[in-house]
Amino acid sequence: MEISSIDLSQIFQVMTTLLTAYFLFANFIFLLLLVGAFFSIRKFIRARPMVESLWKRFSRLGPPVSIVAPAFNEESSIVESLYSFLTLKYPRLEVILVNDGSTDSTFKKVFDAFKLEPTHLFYNDQLSKTEILGTYSSPLYPNLFVIDKKRGGKADSINVGIGFSRYDFFCSVDSDSILDRDALLKVVLPLIEKPETTVASGGTVRPVNGSIVQAGRVFETRLSKNPLVLIQIVEYLRAFLFGRVGWNLYNGTMIISGAFGVFKKEAVMEVGGYREGSLGEDMELIMRLRQNAVDHDREVSIAFISDPVCWTEVPSTFKTLAKQRDRWQRGLAEVLFRYKNILFNPRFGTVGLLAYPYFFFVELFGPWLELFSYIFIGLGYWMGWIQLELVFLFLLVDWFFGILMSFGAVLIEESAYYKYPKVRDLLVLLIFSFFEQIGFRQLNSFWRLRGTIRYLRGVKHWGRMERMGFQE
């Protein structure tokens, strides 16, 4: 009995050391991304006079863009979102709303607000053969077109939208989003600067909950009073301002958020459009674009710009958030398993050697390891097999390092973009950096773990998301 206890103690000590080493490695990557993101954003800000002077003139030269907005049961936010898209500061654009068989009053609200009239539009059915119920235009806004179709899912709706789009570039946006007035002008820039290689470009997504929205614009940025939303604000800052900016610096972008991204239509059509039935259709498309480029021995660039902002409503209840995270994790698992050939594949450059392994080992399997390590270390300490100091070391790496990273994201936001002008807001975000790492992250890991299990069990449906609209 004594010998087996000693053995177990040694096993626990070694395992705890390995788990700590894993989290140390993950944190080292975070640190690299943080430093990269900071310098990348500083460089961007220093080049801002040039970029701004370009934007002033660019308004004459910008290529026309089709905004494609798929909508399914978005009655609470659809009209406000459409106003946001229609009043963007951009020389030539058309807005194509695709009503994906909504069962609520989404279509009626749009019909009444924009006084829609039936019209005839050209449709290229190369990407989707779903039945179109009607096409409409608005006498109030000649560049607004509404497509009413049978339910086919988000990917199918965007494909239909692409089929109706007239221009060479399309911008995919969520119908529960608000774009900053110059967001499109900024996000298109990489596609103009390097048209030969850049096929997609994305911007930052931020939670809109709590802010004042008027006539399709974020009139005043405010923090929500809901703690769950505050935690998500910190989380989004971390994900976009140093996660994506950092990966972009090394040309390792693997995802352009479905909520806001501009694509070269020709490239997307070449790979067959969005994959229908996919849970992570935005990431899947990017991976397919990358795969296609490698297959054809072409250079490809996916750009991410942190400045243009798309404001979106984030879940304000635990139930909705759990569903969302579950779906995201299933989408991530589906895409990573589908493109497993990229793992450590040098032909994919940074994506194959760094970004994909990071997503695979940290984003996909991180929740498993995290929850396992809590149980394992807790049990080991309770049984007296692990020293308290080793537990401290683990918590230092797991919790404290995480808090520092969230702190870093909030501070980068403050140093560069200054979206929350009140000192109180800054302090609130710094305080919620603690809760994001201690409490929320563990809960999120549980949801993600459940999502992975549900993916392995073959669960495919999206789940119903409840929307509150832009006014809290």
Partner 1 sequence: MLFLGPDRLLQFLGIGIHTPLARAVAILLIVKMSLILCLLFYVCFKRLKRQWQRRNNEGRADAFRQAIVDYLFTDPERNAFLPQFKKKDRYFFRRILLDQLENIESAERSYLVKLYSHFQFLYEDLRELKSFFWWNRLAAVIRLEIVRTQDAVPMLSRLIDDKNDLVAIASMRALSTLDYPDKISKILYSLSRRAPERHDIFVEILTNIGRGQSEKIIDYLNECFDPSIAAICVSVLGALKAKEALPLCVGLLTSSSDDVAAESAKALGKIGDPQAILFLRKEIHHESAKVRAEVVISLLSLGDSDFELSLGAVQKDPSVIVRRALFDASQEK
Interface residues with partner 1 (CB under 8 A)?
A: 17, 20-21, 24, 27-28, 31, 34-35, 38, 46-47, 49-50, 53-54, 57-58, 61, 122, 124, 126, 166, 189, 192-196, 387, 389-390, 392-393, 396-397, 400-401, 404-405, 407-408, 411-412, 414-415, 418, 423, 426
Closest separation in Å from C-beta 357 to partner 1: 20
Closest separation in Å from C-beta 437 to partner 1: 13
Q: Which is nearer to partner 1, 122 or 382 (CB)?
A: 122
Closest separation in Å from C-beta 150 to partner 1: 22
265 pairs with which residues across the strands?
none
Closest separation in Å from C-beta 63 to partner 1: 9
For the chain, give the longest Cα–Cα distance.
85
Strand, coil or helix: 449: helix
Closest separation in Å from C-beta 351 to partner 1: 22
Q: Which is nearer to partner 1, 77 or 135 (CB)?
A: 135
d(CA 145, CA 99): 11
Burial 13-41 (b: 16+ CB within 10 A, else e): eebbeebbebbeebbebbbebbebbbebb
Strand, coil or helix: 54: helix
Strand, coil or helix: 425: helix
Contacts of 379 (CB under 8 A, 6+ apart): none
Q: Which is nearer to partner 1, 295 or 299 (CB)?
A: 299
- Nearest 5 degrees, angle CA 471-CA 424-CA 84? 30
Q: Which is nearer to partner 1, 364 or 412 (CB)?
A: 412
In 3D space, the residue among 165, 80, 91, 88 whose CA is nearest the CA of residue 114 turns out to be: 80
Q: Which is nearer to partner 1, 34 or 218 (CB)?
A: 34
d(CA 425, CA 446): 29
Closest separation in Å from C-beta 335 to partner 1: 29
Q: Which is nearer to partner 1, 339 or 432 (CB)?
A: 432
Q: Which is nearer to partner 1, 373 or 452 (CB)?
A: 373
Closest separation in Å from C-beta 378 to partner 1: 18
Residue 94 near residue 165, CB atoms below 8 Å: yes
- Nearest 5 degrees, angle CA 131-CA 136-CA 139? 175
Strand, coil or helix: 395: helix
